[in-house]
A = this chain, B = another copy of it.
Amino acid sequence: MNEEYAAKCLAELGSPTRLAVFRLLVRAGHVGMVVGDLQRRLRIPASTLSHHIARLAWAGLVEQRRRGRSLHCFARTDVMDGLVTYLTAECCAGFDDEKTDQPAA
């Protein structure tokens, strides 16, 4: 995970619809969900949903595998874990003055 890729993932997750899709897929675990499931769940037109899933897949956050007529979608939780690790290391506290202050000066 680097800054550029982190920004890409954040941007793709930063849409209410896409975040909802991703959450549903995370909860579905490695069983995944087919696009139609997601559509019935989210009540949005197929083309719109397809667009959002494509963006998540483009960012590497979602994987799709065709099985018969259906496309199974899975959340790449390993990528998400990498993102969270990156954010924790680079964007959370830890550069605070407790660290940089001279102790007992």
Q: Pick the contact of A95: B9, B26, B80, B93 (CB < 8 A).
A: B26
Number of interface residues of A (CB under 8 A): 39
Q: Pick the contact of A3: B7, B16, B81, B88 (CB < 8 A).
A: B16
Is A95 within 8 A of B28, CB to CB?
yes
Q: From residue A14, how far is it (CB to closest CB) to chain B in Å? A: 3
Q: Which residues of B contact A7 (CB under 8 A)?
A: 13-16, 19
Which residues of A are interface residues toward B (Cβ below 8 A)? 3-4, 6-16, 19-20, 22-23, 26-31, 75, 77, 80-81, 83-84, 87-88, 90-93, 95-97, 100
Q: A6-B19, A27-B95 are in contact. List 20 more A-B contacts (CB 8 A).
A: A3-B16, A3-B20, A3-B23, A7-B13, A7-B15, A10-B11, A11-B11, A11-B14, A12-B14, A14-B14, A23-B90, A26-B93, A29-B96, A77-B91, A77-B92, A77-B93, A81-B92, A83-B87, A84-B88, A87-B87
